[in-house]
Amino acid sequence: MLRPDGGVIQVDSNDSKDTKSRDEIRQHLGHIAQLFSNGDFTSPMLIHAQTPPGVPAMKRLKAAIKYRFEATSRGGRVHITTSNPEALSAVHEFLRFQISDHMTGDSGKVEKP
């Protein structure tokens, strides 16, 4: 989902009792937050067989973007935040691509928290 200061990547297990999936999601998203913080976007490029829109600017502006992992009851989320207008545009472009490619059902519109 897109937020005025960035956005959120959230993944949940389908079954609240499936602690194995929940823990795997948490591990994966924690790892993704660390990789993205370092400017490493190899994972999305491998999954999508292309460089997702926004990634070149996100790599270049990595110091202006913060990634924070948060565990949820059924998985986790990565909060992506920035106050840099160019970085914000890149983050929104990246997240809209993810929403579309993964068919998440999110609106792709900026929502208030």
The domain total for the chain is 1
- Which pLDDT tens digits describe the chain residue by residue (113 residues)? 999 999 999 999 999 999 999 999 999 999 999 999 999 998 865 665 778 999 999 999 999 999 999 999 999 999 999 999 999 999 999 999 999 988 888 888 999 88
Residue 36 lies in a domain: yes
CA distances from 94 to 48, 69, 87 (A): 12, 18, 10
pLDDT at 44: 66
Instruction: Round to whole Å and give the CA distance between 70 and 79.
Output: 8
pLDDT at 105: 86
Residue 75 lies in a domain: yes
Residue 111 lies in a domain: no
Residue 113 lies in a domain: no
Residue 63 lies in a domain: yes
pLDDT at 45: 59
pLDDT at 78: 98
Give me the long-range contacts of 26-34 (CB less than 8 A, separation at least 24). 26/69, 26/71, 26/75, 26/76, 29/69, 29/75, 29/76, 29/77, 29/78, 30/69, 30/76, 32/67, 32/69, 32/78, 33/67, 33/68, 33/69, 33/78, 34/67
The predicted model scores a pTM of: 0.90
Residue 14 lies in a domain: yes
Domain that holds residue 59: 2-102
pLDDT at 74: 96
Residue 49 lies in a domain: yes
Residue 31 lies in a domain: yes
Decide if 8 contacts 69 (C-beta within 8 A): no
